[in-house]
């Protein structure tokens, strides 16, 4: 009779395009989110949370890559055979929420939200299928003063995180100006039958900073093959059609007013294009009156944003400083957030115009940039104090010591493993514990505990000549009475925080 075969061992593997996040990054990221939240709150925005997925038809024709079926979003069917999709941003769920609760909400409605979003697209270095955004939106304000406010909000948020002026810029354009240019080359900016071509054009222009003029021309024409050999089909425009678009994205001059003059010359006689210019002039007036100069907010025609739901001003927050990677090569992080006006998104539900504008920070990318800049550190540099178990029969007494530390607002844990003292110290090192509390029978009889300062001990270990010297000197370990435990641990923590 043959032996019973063991079932195959399950392989632990992370889904492609996703990642695990450790405690130090979570704490540092939370500190970053608190700083952003404080800025958003100071502008009068209120928090809102929406579900991770929505009915797919609520996301509508504005799905990323919707011209490529089954790409862009993760979708599934529920028990009623209704299609649901994981949210690809926080704006489309906001539009649904506003439409569903329109009568009860104050207008304008000002909300902020942070949470994960998902994109069903090819992952790559630093490009994940799940990432966190932090949005602020104003719904119900038609004035471009609301768009100018979003730019100031973005600038203030970056400065609150320690990014200095000169190390960032908020770049602004207006889709209406681009619509005017598109009309001049025979592309209807609103016709559904030309949606695929229009999206391809938007994606191409949106890559201007990364690919340069030659790369964008290829994407506006027949297409482009990248370094890996992958081919991206182009918009199929003629050179006659491509030329005005390239002039448009390259129209930036020194200063907002000069850039407006350069852009205006490309939409002469076009009503929608001129309307976009006028809106940018109004934004310029608000920004100037608020003391927000060109070094913080600049007009840049190359900013177009890849999604089709934008209807007016669009903007991106760009980091301009350089850092060195692990090989000493210069790295620029570029865009860490963006947004714009989307007056048609809520109107899909309401059947009436509902103006809206918003800004979204890419939290993961901004976190990476701020870490490289040295602006983010773990808010809690130590792990918990570990109370060791010398005698398992006295475990209740050890738990009482842990409780005493916790009641004093000191992070502490009781060692719950099966290891001997050496293994317990190793565990404490792995946890990043600043110190270990030890109490054997002798200490218990005297009403004392031993406190072993692991950080000071590690420093001393580098300077002693031998194990014998280490054992004889017992560096960084001292005895205190039980009633002085909290004070002794606080002294250890204070010593290493300074």
Q: What is the pLDDT of residues 485-497, one digit of tens each?
A: 999 999 999 988 7
Buried/exposed code over 319-348 (b: 16+ C-beta within 10 A; e: otherwise): beeeeeeeeeeeeebebbbbbbbbbbbbbb
The answer to whether the 23-373 and 385-497 domains have the same CATH topology is no
Strands, E assignment, 178-230 = 223-225
- Other C-beta atoms closer than 10 Å to the C-beta of 416 total 8
User: How do residues 70-85 score in pLDDT, each as one tens digit?
Assistant: 467 888 889 998 889 9
CATH architecture of structural domain 385-497 = 3-Layer(aba) Sandwich (3.40)
Is residue 158 scored above 70 in pLDDT? Answer: yes
Average pLDDT over residues 351-371: 91
pLDDT tier, 463 (very low <50, low <70, confident <90, very high otherwise): low
User: How do residues 98-124 score in pLDDT, each as one tens digit?
Assistant: 999 999 999 999 999 999 999 888 887
Query: What pLDDT score does 195 carry?
Result: 81
The C-alpha angle with vertex 345 and arms to 307 and 207, in degrees rounded to 5, equals 10
Quick one: how far is CA 284 from the chain centroid?
28
Is residue 240 scored above 80 in pLDDT? Answer: yes
pLDDT tier, 69 (very low <50, low <70, confident <90, very high otherwise): very low
Average pLDDT over residues 292-316: 89
State how far the Cα of 415 lies from the Cα of 427, in Å rounded to an integer: 9
The structure tokens listed for 72 are: 């862009």
pLDDT tier, 68 (very low <50, low <70, confident <90, very high otherwise): very low
Question: Across the chain, what does the average pLDDT equal?
Answer: 88
Average pLDDT over residues 434-451: 95
The size of the chain, in residues, is 498
The structure tokens listed for 497 are: 């925080």
Considering only CA atoms, which of 421, 427, 443, 359 is closest in space to residue 154? 359
Query: What pLDDT score does 467 carry?
Result: 54
Question: What is the pTM (predicted TM-score) of this model?
Answer: 0.82
Residue 168 vs residues 55, 159, 161, 174: alpha-carbon distances, Å: 37, 9, 12, 20
Give the domain 23-373 fold.
Answer: BirA Bifunctional Protein; domain 2 (3.30.930)
State how far the Cα of 96 lies from the Cα of 55, in Å rounded to an integer: 10
Q: Structural domain boundaries of the chain?
A: 23-373, 385-497
Is residue 450 scored above 90 in pLDDT? Answer: yes
Considering only CA atoms, which of 44, 278, 23, 319 is closest in space to residue 158? 319
User: How do residues 33-57 score in pLDDT, each as one tens digit?
Assistant: 999 999 999 999 999 999 999 998 8
For the chain, give the percent of residues with pLDDT over 70.
91
The answer to whether the beta carbons of residues 72 and 120 sit under 8 Å apart is yes
Question: If you ran DSSP here, which 8-state letter would residue 296 be given?
Answer: T
Average pLDDT over residues 9-30: 91
User: How do residues 375-399 score in pLDDT, each as one tens digit?
Assistant: 776 666 789 999 999 999 999 999 9
pLDDT tier, 252 (very low <50, low <70, confident <90, very high otherwise): confident
The answer to whether the beta carbons of residues 144 and 313 sit under 8 Å apart is yes
């Amino acid at each position: 009779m043959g032996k019973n075969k063991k079932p195959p061992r399950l392989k632990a593997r992370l889904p492609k395009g996703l990642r695990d996040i450790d405690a130090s990054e979570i704490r540092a990221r939370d500190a970053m989110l608190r700083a952003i939240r404080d800025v958003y709150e100071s502008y009068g925005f209120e928090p809102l949370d929406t579900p991770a997925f929505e009915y797919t038809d609520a996301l509508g024709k504005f799905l990323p890559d919707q011209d490529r079926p089954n790409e862009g979003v993760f979708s599934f069917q529920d028990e009623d055979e209704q299609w649901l999709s994981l949210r690809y941003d926080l704006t489309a769920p906001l539009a649904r929420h506003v439409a569903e609760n329109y009568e009860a909400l104050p207008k304008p409605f000002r909300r902020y939200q942070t949470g994960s979003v998902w994109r069903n697209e090819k992952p790559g270095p630093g490009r994940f299928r799940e990432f966190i955004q932090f949005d602020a939106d104003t719904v119900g304000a038609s004035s471009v003063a609301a768009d100018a406010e979003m730019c100031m909000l973005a600038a203030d948020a970056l400065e609150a995180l320690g990014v200095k002026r000169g190390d960032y810029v908020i770049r602004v354009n207006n889709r209406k100006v681009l619509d005017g240019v598109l009309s001049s080359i025979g592309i209807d900016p609103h016709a559904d039958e030309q949606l695929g071509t229009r999206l391809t054009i938007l994606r191409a222009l949106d890559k201007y900073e990364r690919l340069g003029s030659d790369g964008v021309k290829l994407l506006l024409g027949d297409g482009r093959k990248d370094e890996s050999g992958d081919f991206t089909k182009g918009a199929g425009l003629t050179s006659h059609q491509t030329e005005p678009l390239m002039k448009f994205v390259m129209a930036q001059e020194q200063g907002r007013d000069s850039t407006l003059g350069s852009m205006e010359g490309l939409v002469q006689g076009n009503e929608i294009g001129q309307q976009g210019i006028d809106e940018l002039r109004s934004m310029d007036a608000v920004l100037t009156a608020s003391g927000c100069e060109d070094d913080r907010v600049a007009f840049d025609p190359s900013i177009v944003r890849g999604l089709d739901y934008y209807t007016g001003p669009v903007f991106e927050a760009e980091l301009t400083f350089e850092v060195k990677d692990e090989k000493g090569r210069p790295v620029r992080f570029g865009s860490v957030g963006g947004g714009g006006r989307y007056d048609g998104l809520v109107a899909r539900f309401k059947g009436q115009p509902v103006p809206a504008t918003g800004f979204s920070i890419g939290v993961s990318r901004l976190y990476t940039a701020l870490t490289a800049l040295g602006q983010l550190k773990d808010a809690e540099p130590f792990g918990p104090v570990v109370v060791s178990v010398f005698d398992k029969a006295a475990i209740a007494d050890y738990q009482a010591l842990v409780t005493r530390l916790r009641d004093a607002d000191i992070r502490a844990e009781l060692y719950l493993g099966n290891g001997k003292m050496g293994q317990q110290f190793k565990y404490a090192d792995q946890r990043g514990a600043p110190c270990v509390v030890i109490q054997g029978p002798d200490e218990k009889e005297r009403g004392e505990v031993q406190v072993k300062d692991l950080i000071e001990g590690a420093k001393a270990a580098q300077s002693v000549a031998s194990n014998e010297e280490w054992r004889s000197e017992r560096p960084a370990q001292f005895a205190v009475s039980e009633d002085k435990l909290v004070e002794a641990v606080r002294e250890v923590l204070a010593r290493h925080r300074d």
